[in-house]
Copies of this chain bind each other. A is one copy, B any other.
Amino acid sequence: MKRLTLLLAGVATLAGIVVLATTTSRNVSAQGAAPIFGIKIPDGYRDWRFISVAHEAGELNDIRTILGNDPAIKAYREGTLPFPEGTIIARIAWRYVPSEENNKIFGHEQSFVPGEQPPWYLQFIVKDTKKYAATGGWGYAQFDKDGRPGTESDMKKCFPCHQAIKARDFVFTRYAP
């Protein structure tokens, strides 16, 4: 019986490690849906294809990648506007930090790389023209590194800013050539 208990504890520990490895190195799982738009973290977003990259300075001070699901990538590559139903664009951000390791090797400050995950770690926009008719056909969602959704107040700030880029279907990011 003791052996069984130890075995079970071992399995549980291993399972814990696997879960930890999955959430830290692959995909964060949503701890609920984002308010207003009811969006959860889409499965497998960390495996999506690459659209572009950016550094946001100032208060955000992050470095970010923008990935897209298959409809997003197809539309970007073919220049399709508006984006089709089902398009999801993911934005993953990290604190913008100097790489002391690289800089030591290069002999001067040169490299800036992803640091810790900020509170606004994950963002998604989801195209559903009927469901999100009031916000240009896009739903918005934000999650922290533990999968906790952003507040209702956060979510209300998305569309007013994206509205300025209506000519490109409210999407800021251009495809990196």
A2 to chain B, nearest CB (A): 32
Whether a CB of chain B sits under 8 angstroms from the CB of A16 is no
A47 within 8 A of B: yes
What residues of chain A have their CB less than 8 Å away from a CB belonging to chain B?
21, 24-26, 46-50, 52-58, 60, 63-65, 67, 76-78, 92, 94, 96, 99, 101-102, 105-106, 108-114, 117, 161, 164-165, 172, 174-177
Roughly how many angstroms separate A53 CA and B91 CA in the complex, as a whole number?
A: 13
With a cutoff of 8 Å between Cβ atoms, the chain B residues found around residue A78 in the complex are 21
Q: Would B77 and A25 count as touching, CB distance under 8 A?
A: yes
Selected contact of A92 from candidates B46, B64, B92, B176, CB within 8 Å: B176
Name 23 interchain pairs, CB-CB below 8 A, sorted by A.
A25-B76, A25-B175, A25-B177, A49-B49, A50-B50, A52-B113, A53-B53, A53-B64, A53-B65, A54-B63, A54-B99, A54-B112, A54-B114, A55-B63, A55-B96, A55-B112, A56-B110, A57-B109, A58-B108, A65-B176, A101-B172, A105-B164, A117-B177
